[in-house]
Amino acid sequence: MPHYCTLIPGDGIGPEVAQAAVRAVEATGVDIVWRRAELNEAIILESGKTLPQYLLDSLNETRVGLKGPVTTPVAGGFQSVNVALRKTLDLFANVRPVRTLPGIKTRFEDVHIDMVIFRENTEDLYSGLEHEVVKDVVTSLKVITRTASERIARYAFYYAKKNGRKQVAAIHKANIMKLADGLFLRCCRETAQQFPEIQYKELIVDNASMQLVIRPETFDVLLLPNLYGDIVSDLAAGLVGGLGIVPGANMGETHAVFEAVHGSAPDIAGQGKANPTALMLSAVMLLIHLGETEAANQLQSAVEAVYREGKHLTGDVGGSASTEEFTEAVLHAIKA
């Protein structure tokens, strides 16, 4: 039986990296049927809907999606597509593995970084509950609930246990936000007691940020509320070479959407300069989710082989290859 997956190419460089990822997945031999659902800034502005019904219908049918970046206006305009998807489909867990790739020059050349970030995806300041009290005075509500905090904590600890991870670190600011972050922290502590085989520790978010850039190799699994998770996951990506090589997944009870975490980069769209690594590695996570572990390992190994060789890397990671040249190198590595 084939797998059915909704493909959302996005805009900017999205269609280029999406095509590269699709070719890489198909090269593994997995039987997958793509249901293409277009979504970009122009469609949203014309329809007046951040999530058109045909997109939701496709995701409700396939229950899994591979998504390229979609442009989000800054300080105005329509709601972020990512935020809307997470809320609508209850994709409560944002999962971002951050690993050192061979051949990438970073400030940590003698250090192997291998961490997984679990970010609560549905509440916190991203609830979007803002109000202008009087002119030029705005309040924004930080929403933390036991239900959401326990759910992301259990997800992170179950992952750690299943994948042989040794430690989970809860990141917070409960010294200042004693009620909101205090509740999140209590839920993490209670969940940790159910997993005595996993070492549990806590770090205040500012200290955690400093520790990440000093000794990133000491981190294993990080567990964070929404806002801190968003910031820290991008910080961690910078330690291994940038957002162009870091995958991401948004997981729920019934749906899963896998995406590159970088932006749509309209300034280089259509120029063949985009790096498809992040979406290819997101496709690796998709294959694991579908139970195609062998194909996932094949694609992961092929991407790492291209980086190890270093001859067909794109400009953002120090090479001069085009999107097509990098993709062809990955396809060749899969066949080999």
Would you say how long the chain is, in residues?
336
Is residue 99 in some structural domain? no
For 45-63, what is each residue's pLDDT tens digit? 888 888 999 999 999 999 9
Distinct helix (H) and strand (E) counts, the chain: 11, 12
Is 200 in the active site? no
Give the integer Cα–Cα distance in Å for 166 and 157: 10
| Pair (264, 206) in one structural domain | no
| Pair (210, 126) in one structural domain | yes
Domain boundary among 240, 258, 292: 240
Give the integer Cα–Cα distance in Å for 74 and 97: 27
The pLDDT of residue 74 is 46
For 64-87, what is each residue's pLDDT tens digit? 999 999 886 544 455 678 888 998
Is residue 133 in some structural domain? yes
For 270-302, what is each residue's pLDDT tens digit? 999 999 999 999 999 999 999 999 999 999 999
- Pick the catalytic residue from 54, 57, 206, 311: 206
- Pick the catalytic residue from 11, 87, 126, 155: 126
Burial of 13 (0-12, 13-18, 19+ CB in 10 A): buried
The pLDDT of residue 73 is 57
For 103-158, what is each residue's pLDDT tens digit? 898 888 788 999 999 999 999 998 888 899 999 999 999 999 999 999 999 999 99
Work out how many domains the chain is built from and give that number.
2
| Pair (112, 220) in one structural domain | yes
Domain boundary among 225, 240, 255: 240
Is residue 100 in some structural domain? no
- Pick the catalytic residue from 11, 124, 181, 230: 230
| Pair (31, 117) in one structural domain | no
What is the phi/psi pair of residue 191, to 5°? Answer: -65, -40
| Pair (231, 189) in one structural domain | yes
What DSSP designation does 124 have? Answer: B
Is 230 in the active site? yes
Domain boundary among 240, 269, 286: 240
The pLDDT of residue 28 is 98
Which amino acid would we find at residue 332? H
The pLDDT of residue 82 is 85
The pLDDT of residue 80 is 77
Q: Cα–Cα–Cα angle for 77, 224, 167, nearest 5°?
A: 150
Is 173 in the active site? yes
Is residue 206 in some structural domain? yes
- Angstrom CA distances, 246 to 81, 95, 176, 225, 243, stand at 19, 11, 31, 20, 5
| Pair (73, 124) in one structural domain | no
| Pair (236, 249) in one structural domain | no
Is 142 in the active site? no
- Pick the catalytic residue from 67, 87, 159, 173: 173
> Which among 283, 268, 267, 278 has a CA at the least distance from the CA of 322?
268
Q: Which domain holds residue 11?
A: 1-91+244-336
**CATH number of domain containing 76:** 3.40.718.10
User: Which residues in 162-303 belong to E strands, given as ranges?
Assistant: 167-172, 199-204, 221-224, 247-251, 256-260
Strand 130-134 versus strand 137-140 pairing type: antiparallel
The pLDDT of residue 81 is 85
Give the integer Cα–Cα distance in Å for 303 and 290: 20
Strand order in the sheet with 32-36: 32-36, 3-8, 64-67, 256-260, 247-251, 93-99, 114-120, 221-224, 167-172, 199-204
> Which among 47, 34, 49 has a CA at the least distance from the CA of 290?
34
